[in-house]
Structure 1
């Protein structure tokens, strides 16, 4: 596990002034990795304030010592994706991050050289098109909030709202990697089968569309088939984290779910574009919340001394809603959720250890979702279904509008901040999507037939 080092120094400031703003997501202590399109080409980069360091331009700049770990890391990212870099031992990404921290420091002796090449090296984030940071081979979504799981069990009328296995292992399902999308743009309302208000099975645009606020871990180095990853070694396999909105068509999901979620989930999942590295989050490590004394102890392969000391994060997460009505009135998005990573029953290291405990191999770029991060408090309910008690108590907005599900034009923005006294707070950027009306399915079918 990466230790706290000079890159975390709270006294460090950047000559990139936007990185020094009090609410900056990407101060010099963060330096998250991502990918973007520029002049029709895909590039890998690192965010600093309102700018992104173009790693291919950095490779060609002459600012890196030839053959250094930082130069080799930069070369690995020169194809515009992060997969090769993520597959390397963590020391390479760490070296690149440390070198950039020095180059971007307010006292950097190379500042004049960098500013001469600034147009090529440091485009503004709002002048490039952000992409998914790497190629995603597999996507696994977990169910690790006790409060979220218990509430949904009650909404479904289950005698025991918690699945029997919930407190013994991290429950998960295999999601659809092909419909993962980067933050921004439209989320098209899907069609599907569901029971209507009269109990009839119908097919049409999903009426109960929902967001789900999650954190996702990116796998760096994988494991060989048949070789489990021990829980205390799992942290070394996590390259970093992004925000995840696991959009859900609850009406479809609740009707179809037998083996697990399928079409109610696979139509779209949104990711924030930046990977906040495990190293950047080192100052915010904490012990996970202790289990209730009456709960069963984790099996030995899911219990690690290090994970019990530092398997959690000081991380607050938020969801904001902007409706057409609020937008037309010039109002700002309304915060509807404020939760904390403490509301997960299982740590990410336990998720990795469980995922590989049967010998399953994880690969570089695989994505692991935490599941909806709902807490006990009303404000910590991290989806519309919980915020409205499955539609029984509509969510009221300041302009008088109400919601029991997301409507066309509604926009959800997820955000998160890691904070701890003595450390510079860092953010994740936003994970945003606006609901677009369902396509005319019958008309499309007619066109295909013709």
Structure 2
């Protein structure tokens, strides 16, 4: 159904995408009330969009265009909707996405291809340590991808180290899909309960939701911490509900590979112009192969860098760097521009910090204020001084620090009945 382009030339990929793009613009003009209006307001017809470069004639689509107006993007009758998903609402209210049977097949293809890139096949067993409820797309995507590969799959869900280890010991998975900051807690439980985790069946971790690498692809503080505890392979993946596609590392671990048969990707600057390769820009996607709610030039809010140098795995597709941060999450604190991942990386280096949340707000003179709430078993002047020194050394600034119990911070991370841990709260 989908043509794998992993080893095609740049020219072949472009030719394929342009054919699919022409199909897409005619489809959305005929079926999507939102995009028909966009074309008409800009005095464009679908025939005006023939090449990838022609896309720049169209305005970008943003989250606020979708919020509460999802039906304007729907291109199929409601009786053909097979599944409903919602975004996490990290940058605002959750958005509902409606998928057709075709779109679910596309989701399965995407994840199966991503799994194959990290060495998973039908002899593997995957243990899912994230939720599949609350409208969460990722859990279903992983399940569908595993089924397409005929790999074994166990849906344990998040948290509860004892349950995770019970399943690891019983079904012997080779792969864990997990939020990486949970791994130190999993290892700590194993050590306290005399579980021989170093000789378990687990060979690899597919890390979601948090980066484990720096921009040069070396392990960051969290990744290095996990590697020092457990001799397993770490792989990163980046995706979003809006794109229905993942950028997953291959075994070379040099960035997440693009699936060009599923997405056209632009990295845009503040003026919505394409940045040069190697420069940071906002990941902006045009979905290929989606029939339910396709998107044209949708700005994800995520900042990344495109890498086009040849990958040792043999794929010719470009790769995305680890996400630097979300555009709306940029903090300007005491003259320094920060993204939450840099703050988190500093916190992962500090011994005694078990968990944390970051809050940014506006002060009385409309400047950003940064407050870091840390979960720890100790709360001494020396401990707080160590934290402040780490921030000053790594980031050249020192935010307000509060120390609470790990249980209190856990409650903050899952406030508002969140389906995944939230560590950054923008109160501006």
Q: Is TM more than 0.5 here?
A: no
Scaled by the length of structure 1, the TM-score of the pair is 0.30
TM normalised by structure 2 equals 0.31
Greater RCO structure (CA 8 Å; 6+ sep): 1
Structure with the higher helix share, 1 or 2: 2
